[in-house]
Structure 1
Amino acid sequence: MKTPAVALLFASLVSPTTFAQDSFFPIWGNEAEKLGYTLPKPYGISVSYMDMSNPVTVDSIELTGAPMLEAIDIDAKNATFTGSNITVRADVWVFPFMNVYGIIGYTQGESKAKINSVTCDSSKFDGPNLLCGVINAVGDKLPENTMFNLEMDGGTYGIGTTLAGGVGNWFALLDMNYTYTSISAIEGDIRTFVAAPRVGYRWEYDGGRELRVFTGVMYQKVDQFLVGDIASLGLPSVVVAAADKIAKDAGNDNAGFEVSQHASSNWNNVVGMQYAFNRDWDVLIEAGFGARESLFFALGRRF
Structure 2
Amino acid sequence: MIALDDTAWVSLVVPPTPVQEVAAAPEGGPTPPDAEQSVVPAAPASDAPVPPPEPVSKGLRLPFGRDRALARGYELPRTAGLSILLVGNHQKLDAGDLAVAIGTPAGVAGRTLTPVPFVTTDQIKAHNHVVEFKADVWLFPYLNLFASIGRTNGGMDIAVNIDLTGLLPPVLCRPPADCSRDLRFHAEIDNTTLTFGGMVSYGAEDWFAALLASRTLSMSSRDRSDITSTDAGLRVGPRLKLPSNSRLALYGGVNYVDLDTTVEGSLSGEVRDPAGAPLTLRYRTSLHNPWKWSGLVGANFEFARRWNLQAEQVFGKGGDRTVVSASVRF
Please indicate the TM-score interval, normalised by the length of the shorter structure.
0.7 to 0.9
Q: 1:129 to 1:140 in 2, by over 3 A?
A: closer
| Stretch of structure 1 that moved more, 81-90 or 163-172 | 163-172
The 3-state SS of whatever aligns with 1:92 is strand
Instruction: Please name the residue that 2:328 is paired with.
Output: 301
C-alpha contact 2:11 2:205 (8 A) present in aligned 1: no
Q: Is structure 2 residue 291 aligned with structure 1 residue 265?
A: yes
Aligned pair 1:280/2:303, yes or no?
A: no
CA distance in 1, matches of 2:98, 2:115: 11
Residue 37 of structure 2 is matched in structure 1 by none
Please give the TM-score of this superposition, normalised by the length of structure 1. Answer: 0.82
Equivalent pair of 2:156/2:187 in contact (CA under 8 Å)? yes
State whether residues 127 and 156 of structure 2, in contact with CA within 8 Å, keep that contact through their aligned partners in structure 1.
Answer: yes
The 8 Å contact of residues 284 and 298 in structure 1, kept in 2 or not, is answered as yes
Give 1:1-303 correspondences, 5 Å limit. 2-6=1-5, 8-13=6-11, 24-64=61-101, 65=108, 70=114, 75-77=119-121, 78-121=123-166, 129-133=170-174, 137-140=177-180, 142=182, 146-228=183-265, 230-231=266-267, 236=270, 242-244=278-280, 256-291=282-317, 292-303=319-330
Rounded Cα–Cα distance in structure 2 between residues aligned with 1:32 and 1:235: 67
Residues of 2 paired with 1:120 and 1:25: CA distance? 65
Would you say the 8 A contact 1:76–1:148 is kept in 2? no
- Measure how far apart 1:61 and its partner are: 1.8
Corresponding residue SS for 1:174: strand
- Report the alpha carbon displacement of residue 34 of structure 1 after superposing the two structures with TM: 0.4
- In structure 1, stretches of 5+ residues that fail to align are 245-254
TM-score (norm 2): 0.75
Residue identity over aligned pairs, in percent, reads 23
Distance, in Å, in 2 between the alignment partners of 1:73 and 1:131 is 20
3-state SS in 1 of match to 2:186:
strand
- Measured in 1, the distance between the counterparts of 2:11 and 2:72 equals 11
**Could you tell me how far apart the structure 2 residues matched to 1:185 and 1:211 are?**
43
SS in 2 for 1:120: coil
The whole-number CA distance in structure 2 between the counterparts of 1:284 and 1:151 is 29
Task: Give the gaps of 5 or more residues in structure 2.
Answer: 17-56, 102-107
Q: Give the direction of change, closer, same or farther, for the CA distance of 1:110–1:147 in structure 2 (3 Å limit).
A: same
Code of the aligned partner of 1:10: A
After superposition, give the CA deviation of every residue in 1:171-226 in whole Å (9 maximum; x if it has no partner): 11101100010111332111110010111100112222110000001000011112
Instruction: Report Cα offsets for 1:74-116 as digits up to 9, x if no partner.
Output: 7352411111111100000000000001010011132112223
Q: 1: distance between equivalents of 2:171 and 2:97?
A: 25
Aligned partners of 1:73 and 1:121 also within 8 Å: no
Distance 1:132 1:69 in 2: 20
RMSD: 3.0
The aligned amino acid for 1:169 is D
Displacement of 1:14 in angstroms is: 6.0
